[in-house]
Amino acid sequence: MYLLQIEVFGPLGQFNLQEIDRGGVQGDPALADYFVLFGPPGVGKGTQAERLKKGFNLAHVSTGDLFRDHLKRETELGKLAKSYMDRGALVPDDVTIGMVRERMKEPDTWNGMLLDGFPRTIAQAESLDDLLAERGERLKQVLFINAPKPVLLARLGNRLSCRQCGAIYNANTQPPKVPGVCDVCGGEVYQRADDRPEVQLRRIDVYLEQTMPLADYYEGRGLLTKIDGEQSIDEVYESLRQVVERAK
């Protein structure tokens, strides 16, 4: 955000200087705020990402959404990613970075971005640093929401998803207004088969195994802030809000 001075005519015809809030614009990297948000399945990351997006006018950039978009539009990057996915191979980092680079060209990112699901490894983190450096930019802060495994499993056991748009609900704490109907798009809300406790426990373990080295990497650089995900939704958001406010 910044203030732009403009000249306007006053009541007697003279020029006056007024300041107006412009927000971020393309081509001025000093105005952009870049954050990474990560945390294990069930910690409520998606809910908080949407609140931060609205609260700070940040583009919420999920790598999962990027992949789905490129595959759906059959872009060159999408076709390249699909060629790896079809044979069960990991998509190379340069393909993912290419998608993030393309996303950064969209007007809604000029004020800043909240990266969700990327980076996942130190190599990806270094690639992200290089990408931002190309634009004269850098990460402001890395937000790590975490909670004990029993809490995560309890939440995931009550998790519901919209079959159409993917919106997430919780049967106990955040149910849809109409049972079985998505508040966002009106699609069917259901519980996924892979939300079984044993499957979710393995997902949490794998996530933490992959992510903890990345957390240590960012902590060593003084960029990591740990957020207690066992708090209420509002309390977690307030913790995040304070960190983002200080970093801007």
Q: What is the pLDDT of residues 204-218, one digit of tens each?
A: 888 888 888 999 999
Q: What is the pLDDT of residue 110?
A: 87
pLDDT at 5 over 60: no
- Tell whether the model's pLDDT for residue 246 goes beyond 80: yes
78 confidence band (pLDDT: 50, 70, 90):
very high
Q: Tens digit of pLDDT for each residue in 209-242?
A: 888 899 999 999 999 999 999 999 999 999 999 9
Residues 6+ apart with CB under 8 A from 223: 139, 141, 142
Catalytic residues: 45, 120, 159, 192, 203
State the Cα–Cα distance between residues 67 and 236, nearest whole angstrom. 28
- pLDDT of 3 > 90? The answer is no
pLDDT, one tens digit per residue, over 169-182 is 888 888 999 999 99
Closest CA to 26 of 142, 137, 100: 137
Strands 168-170 and 59-62: unpaired
Average pLDDT of span 10-17? 37
Mean pLDDT of the chain: 84
Q: Given a cut of 50, is residue 9 above it in pLDDT?
A: no
pLDDT of residue 72 exceeding 50: yes
